[in-house]
Chains A and B, each alone.
Chain A
């Protein structure tokens, strides 16, 4: 009977497509939050499988902090053009100006927290009732407890104690006016699943995921790209290293890893051998406190 057997990637793929179609079936105005990272690129690939030959029943939405890697932005625009789907971009800089928000200060001033304001404005501008995101439960322990359909109130807040029970593969997307649902089709994927799927499906990625030479600053054991967005001091040790990115976020809060991996195969080998978690190695913002993600999610973060 082996011909009627799905392997783990096929099972995960089918589950994700099912969730994407539930969003399409249950909501009036969904959106797919697209960051330009490998997880949201994988989501777009899954959406193609879920809805082609039809159009996506949602636009791609990117909340641009203004601190993104140019490679990721170029990739985003090229991808949206290639698949012929609508891309909406909203700038954190505009939110800062309109609402007179205070820019964070410091060496690695990050607009990561301010993205939430722009996201909430964008949700109300387009009256989105569901936002599809590429978060995975293996990334972080607050995420390990979040539902696949996660209800947020009109301020985007997540209440971990008031989550709806989620049984079988039945997703309750009923909400009140003003609320929205964050839907996470790849909740059950791990970092390695994503890479194995990227390899199997030949999914194209921005070049920064592969080893390249870059001017970096060493800061508390992490490598941060030198850019106009961070403040260099005289004592800083800057050097050229061969690096790649394991995650792609802002240039101010995403660290690179030293690597020689030039292909997906080589990346997979490095991930299997690594001893540090994806977020631990590459996210500067998660180290701030034990409950950093829990707090940000409660406040409306992705």
Chain B
């Protein structure tokens, strides 16, 4: 049994909450008392049947306004897999929420209303999925019951989306016709959609291979914390605690510590109190080095034969998440894994229209939910990879030093 983390992209109108409610309900993850609570609210609204969408509503503020203001995490499991759903709202004013949910997702379900086809919102969701490099996409064409279960309707949407996906380099796409409200093609194959010969949604989610999305070729180990017991019997013990975010390390590997550039070899690896000969991502481990050198939190330990980039100038796609606007020359803290450095945002070259992919040159000030291409200059060199090739060491956040709030998400782009 492993874990699949996915995000659902769509709005209430597309039946997103109903779909999530249906997955939870049909996988028997909803308990009687939770259903009773929803039954009470449904009666208050005088809607009749239990409203599956209510299963995903969280806070009172949202219930009163009938909206979702934030990312909510939901859990269910089948004998094959544990699922973590990031439920983010789909409207443009919540782009930052979707970016947040997408950052950890193995898969995105893009919901399309069969009656409306590929619309502006679909493009936006596909663009965000592409920017955040979500490895797998499921296009769920919902409300097939309201489109006469028509194969033509489904095929036309498929053709439209495939064209969009090609322009965005989206990969690993599955298409599925569903009715979340009635449960068609959710857990069981639909009798109403007999022309569809693929698996129902839950089987797709259970069987998509996500292991290969973890990069095992490039070892990256950000040091989080140094363990030094300083007791009599462990006088010389010095262990570097952290998570191997990608790759494999073996005892004896030659490594370089960045940004200092010092070199050493791995003398021992511990995990869970045991010594092991090798470790792999995403294990949390303790590394020991042969040489007594100065290594601390914020350093990145990499294989000497496979160095990342080390630079003070980053070319990034930046999703702005702050309520105060960004202007060129603003200074922030940049945090990438365990390292934090001062930075200045320079040269905001264009704003990406997330509905059309159009590049709007010289956008001036950058507002909440804007996505721009910019250059970031750091006060000291940092080690990183291109986000597209190594998600685990190519994403960084910007923090406003005066408010301490996280105001930006950076996807580091390759040098052209």
Contact = CB atoms under 8 A, between A and B. Distances in A.
Given A145-B71, A167-B103, A172 B284 contact: no
Nearest to A295: B60
A252 B103 CA distance: 42
Interface of B: 1-3, 31-34, 37, 41, 57-61, 63, 69-75, 77, 81-82, 84, 96-97, 99-100, 103-104, 211, 216, 224-225, 227-229, 234, 237, 239, 241-243, 245, 248, 272-273, 280, 282-284, 297, 321, 333, 335-338, 391-392, 395-397, 399, 401, 404-406, 409
Given A49-B273, A145-B70, A165-B406, A5 B77 contact: no
Contacts, number: 173
A12 B77 CA distance: 14
A174 interface: yes
B224 A22 contact: yes
A137 B104 contact: no
Nearest to B247: A4
A294 B61 CA distance: 10
B333 A174 contact: yes
Contacts of B71: 145
A29 to B, nearest CB: 15
Interface stretch (A31-39, A70-78, A185-193, A255-263): A185-193
A53 B234 contact: yes
A276 B399 CA distance: 42
Best-buried of B282, B284, B337, B392 by chain A (most CB within 10 Å): B284
Given A21-B224, A55-B229, A172 B406 contact: yes
B3 A144 contact: no
B1 A7 contact: yes
Nearest to B33: A280
B61 A161 contact: yes
Contacts of A48: 273
B241 A50 contact: yes
B241 A193 contact: no
A169 interface: yes
A22 B248 CA distance: 22
Q: 3 nearest interchain CB pairs?
A: A280-B33, A277-B31, A17-B284
14 contacts: A6-B282, A7-B2, A8-B3, A14-B282, A15-B282, A21-B243, A48-B273, A55-B229, A161-B61, A167-B103, A167-B397, A169-B104, A172-B404, A290-B63
A152 to B, nearest CB: 13
- How many A residues touch the partner, as a band? 35 or more
A149 to B, nearest CB: 10
Contacts of B73: 137, 144-145, 187-188
Contacts of B241: 21, 50-51
Nearest to B70: A145
Given A7-B2, A141-B72, A190-B75, A294 B60 contact: yes
Interface string A145-160: 1000001000000001
A88 interface: no
Interface string A92-133: 000000000000000000000000000000000000000000
B2 A11 contact: yes
Given A22-B338, A25-B297, A54-B229, 7 more contacts: A21-B284, A49-B272, A53-B229, A142-B58, A176-B404, A188-B73, A188-B75
Contact of A141 (B3, B58, B229): B58
